[in-house]
Amino acid sequence: MSSAKEVVVIGAGIIGASIARHLTTAGARVTVVSESGAGGVATPNSFAWINASWGNPEVYFRLRARAMAEWKRLANELPGLPLAWCGGLCWDLPADKLETYAAEHSSWGYGIRRVDRAGAAGIEPNLAELPDFAVHVAEEGVAEPVAATKALLADAEQRGARIVSSTVMGLVQTGGRTTGVDTAHGLLAADEVVIAAGVGSPEIAATAGIRLPIEIPPGLIVYSRPYKKLLNGLVLAERLHMRQTAQGRIIAGSDFGGADPGMDAAATARELFAALQAMLRGGDGLELDFHTVGYRPTPIDGFPIIGRAEGMDGLYIAVTHSGITLAPAVGLFAAREILDGERDPLLAPYGLGRFAQ
């Protein structure tokens, strides 16, 4: 492994932080440049459910499941990382589809348990509405996204990474190779540049003539004031997804991507919060504290873009939705590919080149 490589990572969200942390662990000299603190418009506004749940093909399930395992590895390496393996109780699909999901994912090795009303009540005794049929996945969890990002950045810094607060205006190219970045505070030279700037990534890539096909759907999450413990884990119900944070806040979105804020985000938030209260025994005592509207960097086919930009040496791109789930695997795999040239087979479908066809 080339330990002397100088790498500039653009972005200090969960993705940039994980890549920086894994690069420094592997001995690279790293500079993180970001125009915000820990996280941009995605990480701080995330529901932050760590999962390999329904709706994805097996190949993507495998990447997600590996990422869940890599979170556990990171938690051993960084004691105090704010994660909770609280499990997820799910019935946000019609019963027949839920059964298909349970059968399929069980056969893939996901730890799904079917539960009836009594089983659901045992897992979440404060639910006012109970499903006749749900599934429970004990191995799902949550991260406190900003605190986890800060912990990764702090560890990278402790291992020698430099964090620079600035805006990247563009990539610097020399003879078909990316050799640095142009920031509001001057040039930063590098052997390798990583674009991990979330929704800001397409604009940066465009300065090297690279098109990143990304959509940025908004998502609204409501936050209660901190409250006594009402939830043990994640609840993924028909009408909303909710969980209780480490601070005791109940947070919810219409799904884990968050509600569409619509024309009047405050009104959408009040409506969602009322639905949340109705779902919980003791929910009357909850007070809406605030809501957030985040934007998730979502490649147009719904899958991550992770890998080298073809035809451009010295440039690596890591832009993805589900970034809270995927961050530790993305960080590990990106560091290996950048420093050793080894591309993990789990990343095979996720090169930018797929959009050229």
Identify which of residues 39 and 307 has a Cβ nearer to ligand FAD in the complex.
39
Q: What 3-state DSSP class applies to 142?
A: strand
Identify which of residues 62 and 130 has a Cβ nearer to ligand FAD in the complex.
62
Instruction: Take residue 286 and report the two structure tokens written for it.
Output: 């909850």
Identify which of residues 71 and 91 has a Cβ nearer to ligand FAD in the complex.
71
Question: What stretch of H or E contains 115?
Answer: strand 112-116
Interaction with ligand FAD in 157-186: which residues (CB under 6 A)?
Answer: 167-168
Identify which of residues 1 and 249 has a Cβ nearer to ligand FAD in the complex.
249
| Largest CA-CA distance found in the chain, in angstroms, rounded | 66
CA dihedral 32, 141, 232, 53 (to 10 degrees): 130
Q: Are 88 and 53 in contact (CB under 8 A)?
A: yes
Identify which of residues 83 and 221 has a Cβ nearer to ligand FAD in the complex.
221
- Using CB under 6 A, which of 21, 22, 296, 336 touches ligand FAD? 296
From the CA atom positions of the chain, what is the Rg in Å? 21
Select the span of 21-29, 37-45, 72-80, 119-127 touching ligand FAD (CB under 6 A): 37-45
Q: Are 287 and 224 in contact (CB under 8 A)?
A: yes
Select the span of 55-63, 103-111, 123-131, 252-260 touching ligand FAD (CB under 6 A): 252-260
Write down the least CB distance from residue 279 to ligand FAD, Å. Answer: 18
Q: Are 144 and 251 in contact (CB under 8 A)?
A: no
Is residue 315 at the binding interface for ligand FAD, with CB under 6 A as the rule? no
Identify which of residues 85 and 133 has a Cβ nearer to ligand FAD in the complex.
85
Interaction with ligand FAD in 258-277: which residues (CB under 6 A)?
Answer: 258
Identify which of residues 128 and 244 has a Cβ nearer to ligand FAD in the complex.
244
Site string for ligand FAD, 82-101 (x = CB under 6 A): --------------------
Strand pairing class (186-189; 192-195) = unpaired
> How far apart are alpha carbons 241 and 237 in whole angstroms?
6
Is residue 11 at the binding interface for ligand FAD, with CB under 6 A as the rule? yes
Phi/psi at 171 (5° precision): -90, 145
Write down the least CB distance from residue 348 to ligand FAD, Å. Answer: 20
Is residue 322 at the binding interface for ligand FAD, with CB under 6 A as the rule? yes
- Using CB under 6 A, which of 28, 39, 291, 312 touches ligand FAD? 39
> How far apart are alpha carbons 95 and 116 in whole angstroms?
12
Cβ count within 10 A of residue 121:
14
Identify which of residues 50 and 127 has a Cβ nearer to ligand FAD in the complex.
50
Question: What stretch of H or E contains 114?
Answer: strand 112-116
- Bridge partners of 214, per DSSP, are 299
Is residue 46 at the binding interface for ligand FAD, with CB under 6 A as the rule? yes
Is residue 54 at the binding interface for ligand FAD, with CB under 6 A as the rule? no
**Which residues have a Cβ under 8 Å from the Cβ of 346 and sit 6 or more positions away?**
62, 63, 66, 329, 333
| Contacting residues toward ligand FAD, per CB under 6 A | 10-16, 33-36, 39-43, 45-49, 167-168, 196-198, 200, 204, 219, 221, 253, 256-258, 294-297, 320-325
